[in-house]
């Protein structure tokens, strides 16, 4: 149970206040004629600021050092983390902090943070590899006068999201494999980590998906049973 006053680590759709996630749909057509949906949503900035002020990894929060979305290894880390958090029914990916010391990482800090992690770029990357489309948001908060991006994955998952494409680095090494289902799980030492789902992860995951499955109402079942 979360202590009163402690910051939530789970992005929820708030009701009746400014924290409501508002999604705007923008249709874009590529040069190949493919139409994609780019989604933008409002994010509770206070929650983002709390996470940056007191970063801590959990099953719904992952912390990564500076990574570049244009780099294959960086892309793979973002995709694996966001798919794993989505399969955990949402969470936050904090970038620019050391995952062991939880301190801001000054080394390799890019000069164009907001451009590198623009929501359109991040959304496009995720959409290229997610088997089930879902929206993400990107918020920016400050720590010691510097901007840090936080990728926000909302709750609402109803079925597992897998990788729909391989991601191969320049040497031919697969960084993401088609069909992999990533999951935030506890390692043997109790540390949260992202990894392909293991057999022991599926009972919990499937039970959560089943609980969100829309079931027919009693009237619908009754009318269906009387059809000829």
CATH number of the domain encompassing residue 210? 3.30.950.30
In angstroms, the CA 6 to CA 54 distance is: 10
* pLDDT at residue number 37: 41
Residue 96 in domain:
yes
* pLDDT at residue number 27: 41
Contacts of 150 (CB under 8 A, 6+ apart): 48, 51, 52, 92, 93, 94, 95, 138, 139, 140, 141
Residue 36 in domain:
yes
> Structural domain of residue 105, as residue ranges?
23-214
Q: Are 90 and 155 in contact (CB under 8 A)?
A: yes
Residue 220 dihedral angles phi and psi, to the nearest 5°: -65, -40
Residue 192 in domain:
yes
Q: What angle separates helix 72-87 from helix 119-129, to the nearest 10 degrees?
A: 80
Residue 225 in domain:
no
Overall domain count for the chain: 1
Handedness of CA 92, 93, 95, 101 (dihedral sign): positive
- What is the Cα gyration radius of the chain? 19
In angstroms, the CA 155 to CA 208 distance is: 12
Residue 168 in domain:
yes
Residue 57 dihedral angles phi and psi, to the nearest 5°: -80, 145
* pLDDT at residue number 31: 34
pLDDT per 10-residue tile (average), the chain, 228 residues: 47 44 41 40 89 96 90 95 95 95 92 94 96 95 95 90 94 95 82 83 63 50 45
């Amino acid at each position: 149970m979360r202590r009163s006053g402690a910051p939530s680590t789970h992005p929820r759709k708030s009701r009746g206040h400014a924290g409501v996630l508002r999604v705007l749909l923008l249709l874009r057509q590529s040069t190949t004629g493919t139409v994609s949906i780019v989604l933008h949503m409002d994010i509770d900035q206070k929650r983002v600021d709390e996470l940056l002020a007191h970063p801590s990894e959990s099953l719904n929060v992952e912390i990564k050092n500076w990574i570049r979305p244009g780099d294959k290894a960086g892309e793979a880390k973002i995709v694996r983390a966001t798919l794993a958090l989505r399969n955990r029914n949402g969470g936050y990916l904090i970038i620019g902090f050391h995952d062991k010391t939880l301190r801001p990482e000054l080394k390799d800090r890019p000069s164009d943070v907001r451009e590198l992690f623009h929501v359109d770029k991040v959304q496009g990357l995720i959409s290229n590899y997610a088997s089930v489309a879902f929206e993400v948001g990107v918020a920016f908060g400050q720590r010691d006068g510097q901007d840090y991006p936080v990728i926000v994955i909302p709750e609402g998952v109803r079925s597992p999201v897998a990788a729909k494409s391989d991601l191969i680095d320049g040497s031919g090494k697969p960084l993401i494999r088609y069909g992999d289902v990533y999951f935030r799980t506890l390692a043997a030492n109790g540390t949260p980590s992202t990894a392909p789902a293991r057999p022991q992860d599926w009972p919990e995951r499937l039970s959560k998906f089943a609980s969100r499955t829309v079931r027919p109402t009693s009237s619908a079942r009754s009318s269906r049973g009387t059809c000829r």
